Amino acid sequence: AINAKLLQADADVTLIDQKEYFEITWASLRSMVEPSFAERTVINHRNYLKIGRVVTSPAVNITESDVTTKDGAVIGYDYLVIATGHNDLFPKTRQEKLSQYQAEYEKIISSQSVLIIGGGPSGVELAAEIAVDFPEKKVTLVHKGPLLLEFVGEKAADKAFDWLESKKVEVVLNQSVDLSSASDGNKTYRTSGGETIHADYCHYLCVGKPLASQWLNGT
Q: How far apart are CA 107 and CA 118, in angstroms?
A: 19
For residues 30 and 129, the answer to whether their CB atoms sit within 8 Å is: yes
For residues 62 and 80, the answer to whether their CB atoms sit within 8 Å is: yes
Comparing CA positions, the residue from 60, 47, 52 lying closest to residue 20 is 47
Q: How far apart are CA 19 and CA 58, in angstroms?
A: 8
Q: Which CATH number fits domain 111-205: 3.30.70.360, 3.50.50.60, 3.40.366.10, 3.20.20.100?
A: 3.50.50.60
Per-residue model confidence as pLDDT tens digits over 16-65: 999 999 999 889 999 999 999 999 999 999 999 999 999 999 999 999 99
Question: Same CATH topology for 2-98 and 111-205?
Answer: yes
Alpha helices in 22-177 (DSSP H): 28-33, 38-41, 45-48, 94-109, 121-133, 154-166
Per-residue model confidence as pLDDT tens digits over 51-108: 999 999 999 999 999 999 999 999 999 999 999 887 778 899 999 999 999 999 999 9
- Per-residue pLDDT at 186 exceeds 80: no
For residues 114 and 199, the answer to whether their CB atoms sit within 8 Å is: yes
- Per-residue pLDDT at 201 exceeds 70: no
* Count of Cβ atoms closer than 10 Å to residue 51 Cβ: 13
pTM score, whole prediction: 0.86
Class of domain 2-98: alpha beta
Q: Per-residue DSSP letters for 16-32? A: EESSSEEE-GGGHHHHH
Q: Where are the domains of the chain?
A: 2-98, 111-205
